[in-house]
Amino acid sequence: MSLTDGIDTRSESRRADISSMFGSNVTYNLGDSQHTKSDYTSDITLYAPEVIEIQYPKISSEDQLYPLCLFNSFGLEWNADEKNENGVMVVIEWHGAMVFGEDYPNAYIRSTDVFPDTGKTCINPQMFDGIPDTALCTLTILRGSIENELVNGYSCKLVAESHQCIQFILIRNVKKNEA
């Protein structure tokens, strides 16, 4: 007996390969698969934006695993999608972890902002309010589309989104070495 016994691997691979839908309009047909002529079905088309990828700060090796990012000049770059009219959402989270000093086990801060999908922005320093120097934070950037539709009395929500996360060390205090 093999691991694939009883599984239609052709349909499994079709479901798993959805990468081609990103960057294009996708049409969904909502309705009962056993529908009759009187049943309601609906075709909904939404734009599935391109898969988002952070280009800066870029983590390309283990020694860059946690980039140092200044709270007042945090530049962020990603692959822009000119067809995406919804913009991108940036989420900053801190769960109380510190690189230096003691952790704050009961702390949790989340800030969000939305930017035009131009491929770059400077994050508003207010997004880091309440987060101390050398805090280990997570940045999530995402873009997508969402449609709500009522089908046969049921509310259906269609979502096409992609996101990417990186962890970084927030730097607030920079001291100059005076010679």
* Residues above pLDDT 90, as percent of the chain: 56
DSSP 8-state symbol, 57: S
Query: Greater confidence, 40 or 84?
Result: 84
Residue 62 is predicted with a pLDDT of 78
C-alpha to C-alpha distance for 22 and 51, rounded to whole angstroms: 6
pLDDT tier for residue 138 given thresholds of 50, 70 and 90? very high
Residue 155 pLDDT: 83
DSSP alpha helix (H) spans, the chain: 9-16
Would the pLDDT of 1 be above 50? Answer: no
For residue 151, list its beta bridge partners. 154
Q: Is the pLDDT of residue 15 over 60?
A: no
CA distances from 98 to 12, 63, 124 (A): 42, 18, 22
* Percent residues over pLDDT 70 in the chain: 84
- Tell whether the model's pLDDT for residue 10 goes beyond 60: no
pTM of the model: 0.79
**Three state DSSP letters for the chain:** CCCCCCCCHHHHHHHHCCHHHCCEEEEEEECCCCCCCCCCCEEEEEEECCCCCEEECCCCCHHHCCCEEECCCCEEEECCCCCCCCCEEEEEEEEEEECCCCCCCCCCEEEEEEECCCCEEECCHHHHCCCCCCEEEEEEEEEEEEEEEEECCEEEEEEEEEEEEEEEEEECCCCCCCC
- Choice between 156 and 17, residue whose per-residue pLDDT is larger: 156
Confidence at residue 7, expressed as pLDDT on a 0 to 100 scale: 42
pLDDT in tens, 84-126: 999 999 999 999 999 999 999 999 999 999 999 999 999 999 9
For residues 115 and 123, give the distance between their C-alpha atoms in angstroms, rounded to a whole number: 9
In the predicted model, what is the mean pLDDT of residues 125-146? 96
> What is the pairing mode between strands 68-70 and 154-171?
parallel
Answer yes or no: is pLDDT of 56 > 80: yes
Q: Is residue 173 over pLDDT 50?
A: yes
The answer to whether 147 touches 158, Cβ cutoff 8 Å, is yes
Q: Residue 179: what pLDDT? A: 62
